[in-house]
Amino acid sequence: MLTRDFLVKADCKTAYGTIEESLLWSSEQRAASLAATLACRPDNSPVWIFGYGSLMWNPVFESDEVASGTLEGWHRAFCLRLTAGRGTSLQPGRMLALKAGGKTSGLAFRLPEEMLHEELTLLWKREMVTGCYLPTWCELTLEDGRKVTAMVFVMDPRHPHYEADSCPGTIAPLIAHASGPLGTNAQYLFSLEQELIKRGMQDDCLKDLVQRVRALQTCKQSSAG
């Protein structure tokens, strides 16, 4: 599992596995992306981060408040080809992102203003290793009815690792078999499933995928036995 200490010390070129040189962002590129995103900050209200994947159970950054929230207009999709972290170029997996349409339930984290740049720099080092996401300001509805503006990492469809086909039948075999320095791809999927169950959140598109991946792993274990 990623830890704060791991991220602080990580050399992005090697820490996640082998990343194509042409895709790897430099620290300068990450800093420029962060600066451009903050320049578009809608107002001086607190900065919230919307977590819809591993940020939900392993945020690693500091926050002053955590609340359940709903994002309209975007849905979860394993549409990012994964060749590092929990996959390799020889056996790629799929990582989670957001695509347009539908809605997503997740967690909103309010960052402390006095630590804003430090925490966001760490977040960019985690999420923007290859610049695969578009950090976007979106309106969230929190569980208590409040409307807040949050930073959301949505899929950049122009990225070379974007995969349009994220149907369960296509991606289940990839997720079932991929692994890398950070663990297995299936482990990520099952952690997401458990977190949503724990939070009482529904994401119907995951049910079929989880069942398919479990079935493939059971079949593989039976064959090995």
Please write the tens of the pLDDT for every residue from 22-78: 999 999 999 999 999 999 999 888 999 999 999 999 999 999 999 999 999 999 999
At 225 the pLDDT is 56
Mean pLDDT of the chain: 94
Check residue 43 and give its pLDDT.
84
Instruction: Domain count for the chain, please give it.
Output: 1
- Residues 104-126: tens digit of each pLDDT: 999 999 999 999 999 999 999 99
**163 Cβ partners below 8 Å, 6+ apart?**
79, 80, 81, 94
Phi and psi (nearest 5°) for 5? -60, -40
Catalytic status, residue 127: yes
Catalytic residue among 119, 127, 163, 195: 127
pTM attached to this predicted model: 0.93
Residue 77 in any domain: the answer is: yes
Asked if residue 86 is part of any domain, the answer here is yes
Is 225 contained in some domain? no
Q: Which amino acid is at 160?
A: P
pLDDT tops 70 at residue 224: no
Is residue 167 situated within a structural domain? yes
78 vs 93: CA distance, rounded Å: 9
Asked, for residue 153, whether it belongs to a domain, the answer is yes
CATH number for position 153: 3.10.490.10
Domain that holds residue 196: 4-220
Which band of pLDDT confidence, cut at 50, 70 and 90, is reported for residue 205? confident
Is 90 part of any domain?
A: yes
How many residues in the chain? 225
CA distance 177 to 218: 12
pLDDT at 44: 83
Q: Is 180 exposed, middle or buried (0-12, 13-18, 19+ CB in 10 A)?
A: buried
Q: What is the pLDDT of residue 204?
A: 82
* The Cα angle at residue 52 between residues 48 and 55, in degrees rounded to 5: 70
Provide DSSP, 124-169: HHHH-SS--EEEEEEEEEETTS-EEEEEEEEE-TTSTTB-S---HH
In a domain, residue 200? The reply is yes
**Does 168 have pLDDT greater than 90?**
yes
Q: Does the pLDDT value for residue 81 go beyond 70?
A: yes
